[in-house]
Structure 1
Amino acid sequence: MTTATAPVSPPRSFIPALEGMRGMAALGVLVTHVAFQTGASGTPVIGPILERFDMAVAIFFALSGFLLWRPHAAAAHGLGRAPTTTRYLLHRVARVVPAYWVVVVFVLLLLPGAAHSANLRVWLSNLGLQQVFVPLTLTDGLTQMWSLSVEMAFYVVLPLLAWLVVRLRGPAARWRVPVLCGLIAVSLTWNLWPIPTPDAIHADNWLPAYLPWFAAGTVLAELIHLVRPEVRWARVLSNKPLMWALALAALLLSATEFGGPAGLERAHPWQYAMKMVLGMIIGFGLLAPLVIRRPGTANRWLESRTAAILGRWSYGVFLWHLVVLTVVFPVFGIVPFNGNFLYVLVLTTALTLPLAAASFALVEEPCRRWAARWDRRVSAARVERETEPVESSPTR
């Protein structure tokens, strides 16, 4: 019997380093928006790199791909059961929607500019996470939510993807990685096709364009069950300095023309495809050594108390940082696109973190606990039905 280089974690086990990585990704998104709105992204050399901190979205997508696909991969390898679609969707909605709705309502009612232009179409498309499909509905304080719209689309599609490969179980499970790699190859051609869209809507902001970033995580979820000491690639994937250097190289390359033009200028289709490849490398490279670990290795910073707190608050940081950034400029008398990057970064971070903490404590965690209680009630009712004695029919 072969032994894995690292124990295969149960399908829903908690990996602390991933929570820390989620916190770092949230700060990366904050940094790239501050750099853009202060004009720092136009600074020679460092500016293009700061602008490409938006590749932190690739980390978010890869994390979602790994964590949500892991139970399905474990089930295919005979380790546990995949969640029912109802249970899965309930937890996704409870995790994402309530805290998001709080921000949307706040922005569309109270944020100057956004509230003034918020018509019924803007309200419905933002509440329904349909901004990438409805023209002219991205608004101040909520422009980053395009990625949440894409992520929600992935949540809806994931059960279908799992169903398509459900027969690849047991010995046939080794074919799941090639199938997922085939999905990556196909999705990389998305931006090469003339997809008809309404004015001001671009199909490169839809889920098929970003499937490679999610697939980076789903492939990792499969690979953790295929790791064996005699396989050289297992030692490579668990080598943190090597894999993180690869991710850094992909980030630096994305800051060139291969990642597309600077600012809001639209990229060529080949640049979109290349950006997807580079984002996939970043997500895969950063996460691989965290989930395929060498024995005795540790991730001291990512598993620290500070990183854990940032990870718990990461969703709130993502939701609220643009609201804060929009307010910081007029309140502190700072002219947008005119410098003060570090000053604005410190102010935005300092004001966003308390809002994120409140979002976690008052909205996100209570909704998560409610979903967990619902789970326990349903499970208890199912066990009661299964163990209830069946009355025998009277004989004549």
Structure 2
Amino acid sequence: MPPEYPAARTILPKKRFGEVDSLRAIACALVVIAHARVWPPWLNDFLMDRVEIGAIGVVMFFAISGFVIPDTLRGMRLEGVKRFFIRRFWRLYPPFWVAFLLTLWIKPQYGVGDWIWDAVMLPSLGSRGHSIAQFWTLEIELVFYLAIAGLFLIFGHLGKKVLLLGYLLLLGLAVRKVTASDAVVDYDTMLPYLVVMFWGGICREIRRFDFYRYRWLTPKLGVNWARSSALGVVSGMTMIVLLMSYSAVRGTGRSCELAGALGILGFLLWVILTPVRIDWLSRIGRWTYSTYLFHFVVIFIARPLFNIPDFEVTSLVPPYFTALCFLVSFALGALVYRWIEQPSDHVGKQLTTKL
């Protein structure tokens, strides 16, 4: 870790984190490759069944959200929450609705009732399944927003103590869920992923925590030792609950457990311990929400063109198929980001200027 010096409080600059955007690009690439599948078959089996690269990307995405989002809630309680949700709405929903309608037009799934609940990103609230399966992560993201907004309303801030309280509460609930004799754990179960998101926020607080104020925490080995120990404790607990959740899911085997560990370690190393900032990768990372939303549109169109059956583990794809889907998905993501996501996000910022 880089050397540290005494300060009243280590305040991180209010700007984009290059390491976060870089990791977003990597996580999105893993998800796109997992959904497109690869050639030859033995490599596909290794990446999808043994390593489960898609799950690695999902864990990284959730950790990144936890790292970034809590600091966007600031100011007076009601005004802060109002500003937060207005900006989140304009940031997320317009590009999502375009992708949602386009996906349904290309590949209709389920009934109108399911579509309505999916359109608000909260199908579980209506006791419905996900009519478009790839959007299951968006519901967890939205629940996380509601959770931190609730904590902000209660406490008026989202500092280390508040995030730690939410983290420990969710940690206990997640352990209870996966250890209960009558527990039914789904692959996309919400609690462990919410734990990962709160863990991401705690990592940010530990990263900027002024350990010099507490000399008893920093004996002979210094601040780096204390900071690394704190990161190790919360990261270890997070990894344990995530692995417990994955092991409770029938049919996933060891692959998802390995993916959970790699996702946690990847975020920890890339963003927290040794921040990696790659400019061109960071620029691509800004497109990842749009790329994630629209990459299935690309895959749904491409698979019939190449006579590839729907998503089966045993299905084979041509050698060039993955590269084609990968490049087109990111290119489309860049266009959507420029012409839909950015203008929509700008509307949200303009509406909240007075707030």
TM range (shorter): 0.7 to 0.9
Find the aligned partners of 2:284 and 2:157 in 1 and give their Cα distance.
39
Q: Is the 8 A contact 2:114 2:129 kept in 1?
A: yes
| 1:151 paired to 2:154 | no
Relative to structure 1, is the Cα distance of residues 132 and 178 closer, same or farther in structure 2, using a 3 angstrom cutoff? closer
Find the aligned partners of 2:38 and 2:133 in 1 and give their Cα distance.
13
* Residue-by-residue CA offset, 1:230-255 (whole Å, 9 max, x unaligned): 220435789xxx9xxx99xx7xx97x
Instruction: Judging by fraction of residues, say which structure has more helix.
Output: 2
Find the aligned partners of 2:99 and 2:72 in 1 and give their Cα distance.
31
1:29 offset after TM fit, Å?
Answer: 1.1
Instruction: Specify the alignment match of 1:373 in structure 2.
Output: 350
Instruction: Specify the alignment match of 2:83 in structure 1.
Output: 87
Aligned partner of residue 84 in structure 1, secondary structure: helix
Relative to structure 1, is the Cα distance of residues 236 and 106 closer, same or farther in structure 2, using a 3 angstrom cutoff? same
Q: Given the two structures, how large is their TM-score scaled by the length of structure 2?
A: 0.76
Structure 1 residue corresponding to 2:194, chosen from 211, 214, 217: 211
Instruction: Specify the alignment match of 1:98 in structure 2.
Output: 94
Gaps of 5+ in 1: 380-396
1:331 offset after TM fit, Å?
Answer: 0.5
| 1:61 paired to 2:59 | no
Q: Is the 8 A contact 1:94 1:367 kept in 2?
A: yes
2:6 partner letter: T
Structure 2 residue corresponding to 1:234, chosen from 223, 227, 237: 227
1:196 offset after TM fit, Å?
Answer: 9.8
1:210 offset after TM fit, Å?
Answer: 2.2
Structure 1 residue corresponding to 2:326, chosen from 349, 356, 360: 349
| 1:191 paired to 2:178 | yes
Instruction: Specify the alignment match of 1:358 in structure 2.
Output: 335
Gaps of 5+ in 2: 213-221
Q: Is the 8 A contact 1:48 1:262 kept in 2?
A: no
Instruction: Specify the alignment match of 1:382 in structure 2.
Output: none
Aligned partner of residue 8 in structure 1, secondary structure: coil
Structure 2 residue corresponding to 1:225, chosen from 208, 219, 222: 208
1:283 offset after TM fit, Å?
Answer: 4.9
Q: Is the 8 A contact 2:87 2:345 kept in 1?
A: yes
* Residue-by-residue CA offset, 1:4-43 (whole Å, 9 max, x unaligned): 6995314x43211101111111111112222399976873
Find the aligned partners of 1:40 and 1:316 in 2 and give their Cα distance.
31
Alignment of 1:1-40 (within 5 A): 3=6, 7-10=10-13, 12-35=14-37
Q: Is the 8 A contact 2:62 2:197 kept in 1?
A: yes
Find the aligned partners of 2:249 and 2:188 in 1 and give their Cα distance.
14
Q: Given the two structures, how large is their TM-score scaled by the length of structure 1?
A: 0.69
1:58 partner letter: V
Q: Is the 8 A contact 1:237 1:288 kept in 2?
A: no
Structure having the higher Rg: 1
Higher-RCO chain (CA-CA 8 Å, sequence separation at least 6): 2
Q: Is the 8 A contact 2:123 2:130 kept in 1?
A: yes
